[in-house]
Structure 1
């Protein structure tokens, strides 16, 4: 099912997907109410590792819905979109939590593994834990970028069984075709800016992982990696059971399983997203009957900034969480 119910238009002073992406991440206003305060819990995983979960401390009724956000590549509860969704949750009386993928909470995880775009088994374990700890709360989930692909992959893999855990899900600016997104971020301006930004975070963490587990991968080869394709080939793919980057990107992508989703699901993608080529976005035929597609012309990658204040500055990023959050609430 396709609908353009989020007719987003960028401010005139932010033309293009890169400007909308970078302004939202670096300079936008993230919340209208107080900044979120968090209570962190450490969940021990079945394989002897841990996941850190930040739960917002704003008040909510005992039976209010719980909104769970799965962050993007190298994201956290401090990411601009996580804060903006926290502000939405507080304004609407929802409980709110951000589970961190392994190694993203500020402390390196214990196991040889890390996290990846198709980590639907981790999504499943986390959502089951939330459901068991909050039996009186309807569960809603949103995934951003990498987290959204993993969430949609989870829903496609589980089919009818996903409805036992959640009422509705949404992905925001997710590379549902990982190969298309992976190649796009490795070219031109994307390679100079975004690839370097991610590699500055990911390579040192991988080297610390090697200190934990000597012999895990070839250190010199990893130091020579210059893009996500090479990094995934040396680190992400082999550590998580994939043959190589091509195998990882193929088997972890959510696009091929969207038609198997059986819970209300929303996929929001801006058509000028620098990371996600418009020609790779799912069509109504790809999506099936349970998936709604929002594909506005503008917004960038997890951007969607909106003018604010007397001169339109500094702009805020609450419009996207407002639209996505209300869509989720209509499916309670």
Structure 2
């Protein structure tokens, strides 16, 4: 029987769960970079752990907003994948690998096309390799939408969605109050700097939907998404973007085994991200924990050497190769832990 997640006494706070992993130093795994040229003239970078061999499983890691291979969760997952002798690759969103992307557009919470392109390339070059994926936060929402898309057949055998903002409008509102505003401020500054760099690039400046002075006033996700994300990516406005990109509605259409992990105390979320039974496909196993924060899930150790729940749970799930959800899930697809 799977061990349930319980935080140690010193890490019960959702903010400790969320912030401490950012401060804890994780060894940097050795990776090598592969650049993928995209059909629209842009590029995305993949960071590989080891050399993949056709026929061997490949785990694709999708980072969150403004994350990359250096993100604490990506590093830990790569380290544990190496221990498990599993090939792994980090799929970077556009402009997140340390080099600005070429186009005015960037990436967003519902952008499944780049991820689908990566999977198609992997399947082309490694046709006999089963593909798995884990997506964190924004990357988790992308993964949930990909898995439940009725426009394409998922190339993944199994997938794990962690701390995903499955209802974008509600999550944006949540980040405008209380201590959560600190997370919003930190991330907005990074997004603003990227947009400022593009405004300052002559060949892109005319394509940008805002000026420098306007950019400085966009101090919430709602405003930034309305004035930047939506127009840059073909949405009518922020509400159209949030409605089309939120992963919650896609969960009921998932046809491949998928594990979704949330924490009730996630400071990025509200209860609106929690699906009811009717919103879950029989192929979805849903874990709702009382604690865990945002991509935290510290389950033991001490502040200077924490121990985490996510990596062994992710590996446990994806290594159930050949099993069906009904063989290991409880009678109800929704698990309130």
- TM norm. shorter chain > 0.5: yes
Q: Which runs of 4+ in 1 moved over 4 A?
A: 59-62
Native 8 Å contact 2:109 2:139 kept in 1: yes
After superposition, residues 307-326 of structure 1 pair within 5 angstroms as: 307-308=300-301, 312-326=302-316
Aligned residue for 2:10? 13
Change (3 A) 1:259 1:107: same
Larger relative strand fraction? 2
After superposition, residues 145-294 of structure 1 pair within 5 angstroms as: 145-158=137-150, 161-162=153-154, 165-191=155-181, 193-212=182-201, 213-215=204-206, 216-219=208-211, 220-294=213-287
SS of the aligned residue for 2:197 comes to: helix
Aligned residue for 2:328? none
Per-residue CA deviation, residues 244-285 of structure 1 (Å, 9 max, x unaligned), is: 111111110011121111111111001110001134311222
Residue ranges of structure 1 left out of the alignment (5+ in a row):
none
**In 2, distance between residues paired with 1:23 and 1:287?**
32
Tell me how far 1:329 sits from its aligned partner.
1.3
**In 2, distance between residues paired with 1:60 and 1:94?**
9
TM-score norm. by structure 2 comes to 0.90
Computed over aligned residues only, the root mean square deviation of the Cα atoms, in angstroms, reads: 1.8
Aligned residue for 1:52? 45
Tell me how far 1:60 sits from its aligned partner.
6.7
TM-score norm. by structure 1 comes to 0.91
Change (3 A) 1:135 1:267: same
Native 8 Å contact 2:53 2:126 kept in 1: no
Tell me how far 1:61 sits from its aligned partner.
6.2
Structure with more contact order per residue of length (Cα contacts < 8 Å, sep ≥ 6): 1
- How many pairs does the alignment contain? 318
Q: Could you tell me which of 1, 17, 20 is aligned with 1:23? A: 20
Per-residue CA deviation, residues 60-96 of structure 1 (Å, 9 max, x unaligned), is: 7653210001100000011000011101110111000
Residue ranges of structure 2 left out of the alignment (5+ in a row):
323-337
**In 2, distance between residues paired with 1:15 and 1:218?**
42
